[in-house]
Amino acid sequence: MPTPSTAPLHDPDTYTRGVPFELIEQLRSVAPVHWVDEPDLPGLPAGSGYHLVLDHALVSDVVKDAETFSSYLGGTQIHDPATPRDLAYVRQMMLNMDPPEHTRLRKMIAASFTPRAVRALEGRIAGHAEEIIDRMLNGPHECDFAKDVAADLPLLTLADILGVPAQDRQLMFDWSNRVIGFLDADYASSASFDAAQGTSLAREAVALRPAPDADGHMPDPRGRDGMPDLYRYAHLLGDAKRADPGDDVMSILLAQREEDGGQLSVEEFENMFWLFAVAGNETLRNGLPGAMIALLSHPDAMAALRADPSLIPGAVDELLRWWTPVMTFRRTATRDTTLGGTTVHEGDKVVVSYLAANRDPEVFEQPDELRLGRKPNNHRVFGHGPHVCVGAHFARVQMTLLFQELLTRTRDIQLAGEPALLRSNFQRGVKRLPIRWA
């Protein structure tokens, strides 16, 4: 039997219709690693192609072995940065570093999350979750769960973590849309933030927001020149924090800037703000509606959680595994090697599929089923190895508290229309999720 084509797995249009799990399993039955071409597609120039890793054990091995599979050489996105200048800039982001530089920056962030700070943030998250569900229940009995409910909690939480004024949080919504949704026409030029409702910092930054060109194209948001408003806001907020420091991440990072006697370069500072404001928002923003889709698809599971809310904290990891918001991440081979019987040459792109790893039948019994009490649940939603997500704890807390509020204060939730999914081969995104409730 011939090996099925891998082309649909690279094409971002595929994911607007849902994940082709059947194709993934057909490929897995043939081999754990497959070559994927990068043809010229709308919004995606042609590339050199890559090895796609489907096996849970191999995915784990790749992301743990920075000496062989580097985050730094080519960055962590499938498509190469557009210019050498762009590559040099994104290499200053912790996400795109290898140890020991990655370890140095990670330690700086860890200094922000003391036990006292974590407890304080958890209390604020609980308050945000209650207010969001209050607002939902006080309105019409239908809403867009993705935008009206799920999007706001990570934005409010990140505003607390970064020290961003709450009225400016919608800036992060637009930034995330432009970066994560750069291949989706609905998101690529996102500009929903009303500067008149924000702070003077926001108004100054928004004045630099790029506009589409004559052909409707936006500058590449993954390069330094594509997000001037984000970087301007980072510096303005930094100046405000220098004048009046707090216990938030921005204040902690400012104390580490080179110009203040620390070890954090300006480029590292800018990229750290980008990482929190965009990546720190987007994963949970899609994980929450993904979890809702999981429960809507499994009404018995939703009923079980509503009947016994104490099950919700333990169910969160299974809801995340079942959806898996971040589907892929890239590494670059530093030397010739062999991976799952496949020869990998120095300089080759190696892309791990967290999506496939989280459905690996060798690790998860009946992986397509939602099993709320699944144990062990050795998923890779938050990555693995040195790059495991620094915000994993807060993501779990947010999902737990939001669903506790939602399920204990409603009797029934139903789908009120078809979900709209993001055009992306990276983020398993939910643009719209209409629901109705009683």
3-state secondary structure the chain: CCCCCCHHHHCHHHHHCCCCHHHHHHHHHHCCEEEEEECCECCECCEEEEEEECCHHHHHHHHHCCCCEECCCCCCCCCCCCCHHHHHHHCCCHHHCCCCHHHHHHHHHHCCCCHHHHHHHHHHHHHHHHHHHHHHHCCCCEEEHHHHHHCHHHHHHHHHHHCCCHHHCHHHHHHHHHHHCCCCCCCCCCCCCCHHHCCHHHHHHHCCCCCCCCCCCCCCCCCHHHCHHHHHHHHHHHHHHHHCCCCCHHHHHHCCEHHHCCCECHHHHHHHHHHHHHHHHHHHHHHHHHHHHHHHHCHHHHHHHHHCHHHHHHHHHHHHHHHCCECEEEEEECCCEEECCEEECCCCEEEEEHHHHCCCCCCCCCCCCCCCCCCCCCCCCCCCHHHCCCCHHHHHHHHHHHHHHHHHCCCCEEECCCCEECCCCCECCEEECEEEEC
CA atoms within 13 A on the CB side of 301: 22
For the cut 80, the answer to whether the pLDDT of residue 254 exceeds it is no
To the nearest whole number, what is the mean pLDDT of the chain? Answer: 92
For the cut 80, the answer to whether the pLDDT of residue 252 exceeds it is no
How high is the pLDDT of residue 132? 97
Under the banding of pLDDT at 50, 70 and 90, the label for residue 421 is: very high
How high is the pLDDT of residue 270? 87
103-127 mean pLDDT = 84
pLDDT in tens, 144-193: 999 999 999 999 998 888 889 989 999 999 999 999 999 999 999 999 99
Q: Which residue has the higher pLDDT, 110 or 417?
A: 417
pLDDT in tens, 51-90: 999 999 999 999 999 999 999 999 999 999 989 999 999 9
Distance between terminal CA atoms of the chain?
51
pLDDT in tens, 305-343: 999 999 999 999 999 999 999 999 999 999 999 999 999
Q: Which residue has the higher pLDDT, 370 or 3?
A: 370
What are the sequence ranges of the domains in the chain? Answer: 7-437
Under the banding of pLDDT at 50, 70 and 90, the label for residue 257 is: low
For the cut 90, the answer to whether the pLDDT of residue 367 exceeds it is yes
8-19 mean pLDDT = 98
How high is the pLDDT of residue 220? 86
How high is the pLDDT of residue 258? 57
Q: Give the percent of the chain with pLDDT over 90.
A: 73
Q: What is the pTM of this model?
A: 0.94
Q: Which residue has the higher pLDDT, 375 or 117?
A: 375
For the cut 60, the answer to whether the pLDDT of residue 261 exceeds it is no
- The b-or-e profile of 80-97 (16+ CB within 10 A means b, else e) is bbeeeebbebbbbbbbbb
Spatial distance between the Cα atoms of 261 and 162, rounded to a whole number of angstroms: 21
Under the banding of pLDDT at 50, 70 and 90, the label for residue 400 is: very high
How high is the pLDDT of residue 98? 96
How high is the pLDDT of residue 221? 87
How high is the pLDDT of residue 119? 84
Sign of torsion over alpha carbons 252, 258, 259, 265: negative
One CATH from 3.40.50.300, 1.10.443.10, 3.30.300.30, 1.10.630.10 for 7-437: 1.10.630.10
